[in-house]
Structure 1
Amino acid sequence: MDYRMESSENLRNKCAACFRQFNRIEHLVEHMRTSYHSVHEPLCGICNKHCRSFESLREHLIGPLPKQECKNIFNVRGCKFCLAILDGPNARRIHQERCQLSSTGLIGRFANLGFRDNLTMDGYTREPQVVALACKMVGGGSDGSLDLCGRVCIIDERENIIFHTYVKPQIPITNYRYETTGFRPEYLKDAMPLRQVQKKIQDFLCNGEPMWKIRPRSGRARILVGHGLDHDLDRLQVEYPAIMIRDTAKYPPLMKTSKLSNSLKYLTQAYLGYDIQTGIQDPYDDCVATMRLYNRMRSQAHRREDFPLASDPQNRNNFASRRQNELERMTPEEMLALSRSDYYCWCLD
């Protein structure tokens, strides 16, 4: 009898999302208050465990210490790229052929050889568009360690080049970093000055909207996708609101379990199934990879919620201390239904 009561109590104190067990119900309430579990977390398609990132989910399925039951099923029916569970081995084979996106970087580079540095970028549109940006840096300063933008590329959602040019920095270049950039002095001698590049990109991204007026859904400003965009925009001396930026280096589901950033090279290999940044690097390849990662994250089918963020006013009192007694009477499932995400999921775009 005592054993049954203890088991029932442990089940009552078990998180319905991550399955952590707590000795006391108040400990579970505190966990729910700070965990921000939600429908937007990566989810195991076998046991329905919520994970904080796809790396956590990958470890759960095929890591050093996986959940054995889930690993056995995943080995037969799981997609190693998107981590989905299919109906069977044949369905998995067909799915993975579509899920693994082949590298078109080399093909795209030859198909788009002409540098589009004379584009006016002045065609305003009513709806926000999504574009990806990437830069390649040369070195400045006495030891060549200061990053200076030497080339920039912008593509649209269909991976077509919108803007692609060499950039002439404002200070002397002391290291062309030829092994990775392929740059030679003559390439940048008559390149577009940084100030001109900055203005073109700034005007294009804002798309006719004043900076102070830009809103995520009610204006014409474009959504900007990239990897490590803080650094790229800083080197370009371009300012842009964080609400319009989708950075694959800072997106929680794509980060390491330690909450550190993964490299774009790793993300492309693990989630898209091909390699980039081998030998001389092209910013077009980086643009394509980040756009594909963005579209993969955006296309996830999550349950719709009227107010999906913990920061939404309607959710701010869900786990308020004054509700402690009420929360302790709830089941783990009822508490999970109250919980909301602490990051903006790209499926909301």
Structure 2
Amino acid sequence: MDYRNESSDTLRNKCAACYRQFNKKEHLVEHMRTSYHSVHEPMCGVCKKHCRSFESLREHLIGPLPKAECERIFKERGCDICLSILGNRTSLRAHRESCLSRPNNNGLLYRMANLGIQDELRIDNSRGRVVALACKMVGGGSDGSLDLCARVCLIDEHERILFHSYIKPNIPVTNYRYEMTGIRPEYLRDAMPLKNVSRKIQEFLCNGEPIWQIRSKGGRSRILVGHGLDHDLKCLEMDYPAIKMRDTAKYPPLMKTSKLSNSLKYLTRAYLGYDIQSGVQDPYEDCVATMKLYMRMKLSQFHKKENYPLATDPQNKNNFASWRQNELERMTPDQLLDISRSDYYCWCLDSQDY
């Protein structure tokens, strides 16, 4: 057997994104068909390897078994927050100062002041197109394990409070979870009913646009940012289209694995550089953290602009069609990567028109 030729064939069948090698070209094509590699994946600043998430990239750089050369360069001039590689240590120091976020103390001030209702929700475009939402739950049911929304906060992209209110649940509260929520029975006694709160928030998010007409691009509706939005909206008993939600718990680059989310506390510590949710938790603090994460994912990633960036776009449905198998096997790994598209919506696209 000619091992030299086998090695050469394997090298030709090396994925241009994750550098995985295959014995046969057809295996590489199948890998590209199912992996959805794209320019939107987190990428090593040294070897240019694509990673599915920032957690994978972190392991590649400083994990238990990092790539030696990448680890060496990252330790010299890599930012441990955004995982980017700078030109020199002087640039790294300047970059890290701008990369390190600072917690906003407004939430603490509002909590200490025992803020009741603050309502600046208006159906107009002057309040920004992106808002973050966070809720705090108390317990209902016989054992207090049923989540009931008792406090909600909504902020704009400048971290200004648009709406804050305690909420009177529809069923009796059996566990106020005071150590975590700081909520007392008297806070909810004369609070706004859940139905009224849900209606106000939904009207503000839709911004005068019927919910069934909301589309991913254009229109008047607002982008909703949060962590675990499906759960929050369920507890608020309201609906909102998934195409307008940006959930830090479900965004693939921020997830631990493809099916396991990171906590907001961890994401804030790892990617913003400060701590939250120590002691009594404040929904404003959570709103700020999710908004900062969203803005960082949206603005700090400079990806090549593509006319049709998603694998689900109709224009891309035949990129890896089975009837093109022979043609695909004649392509180079770089050409295969060029036609590969992402299977998730990258938040950098919110700042692009495509």
The TM-score bracket by the shorter chain reads over 0.9
Counterpart of 2:317 in structure 1 is: 316
TM-score, reference length from structure 2: 0.95
Structure 1 residues 19 and 295: CA distance shift in structure 2, 3 A: same
1:18-167 alignment runs, 5 A limit: 18-104=18-104, 106-110=105-109, 113=113, 115=115, 117=117, 119=119, 121-125=121-125, 129-167=129-167
Q: Tell which deviates more after alignment, 131-140 or 116-125.
A: 116-125
The residue type paired with residue 323 of structure 1 is R
Partner of 1:178: 178
The aligned counterpart of 2:282 is: 282
Identity of aligned residues (%): 70
Which residue number corresponds to residue 195 of structure 1? Answer: 195
Change (3 A) 1:322 1:205: same
Give the total of aligned pairs. 348
* Deviation sequence 1:149-199 (CA, Å, 0-9, x none): 010000000000000111000110000101001111111111111111011
Query: Do residues 345 (structure 1) and 346 (structure 2) align?
Result: yes
Measured in 1, the distance between the counterparts of 2:120 and 2:308 equals: 39
Q: Report the Cα offset of residue 11 of structure 1.
A: 1.1
Q: For the Cα contact (< 8 Å) 1:36–1:310, is it kept in 2?
A: yes
Q: What amino acid maps onto 2:344 in structure 1?
A: Y
Q: What is the deviation of 1:70?
A: 0.3
Distance 1:128 1:306, change over 3 A: farther
CA distance in 1, matches of 2:319, 2:258: 27
- Cα deviation per residue 1:278-323 (whole Å; 9 max; x = unaligned)? 1000000000000000001111110000000111111111111111
Once the two structures are superposed, what CA deviation does each residue of 1:8-45 show, in whole Å capped at 9, x if it has no partner?
21111100000000111110010001000000000000
Contact 2:120 2:162 in 1 (8 A): no
SS at match of 1:224: strand
Q: Give the whole-Å Cα distance in 1 for the aligned partners of 2:184 and 2:114.
A: 18
- CA distance in 1 between counterparts of 2:140 and 2:32 reads 49
- Give unmatched runs, 5+ long, in structure 1: none
How much does 1:215 deviate? 1.2
Alpha-carbon offset, residue 88 of structure 1: 1.2
Structure 2: unaligned runs, 5 residues or longer:
none
Query: Do the aligned partners of residues 127 and 10 (structure 1) sit closer, same or farther apart at CA in structure 2, a change above 3 Å counting?
Result: farther
Shift of the 306–12 alpha-carbon distance from structure 1 to 2, 3 Å rule, reads: same
Q: Distance in 2 between matches of 1:319 and 1:60?
A: 28
Asked if the contact 2:181/2:281 (under 8 Å) is kept, the reply is: yes
Q: Please say which of residues 109-118 and 319-328 is displaced more in the overlay.
A: 109-118
2:205 aligned with 1:205, yes or no? Answer: yes
Is the alpha carbon distance of 1:152 and 1:237 closer, same or farther for their aligned partners in structure 2, counting shifts above 3 Å? same
Q: Tell me the TM-score normalised to structure 1 length.
A: 0.96
Q: Is 2:141–2:173's contact at 8 Å kept on the other side of the alignment? A: yes
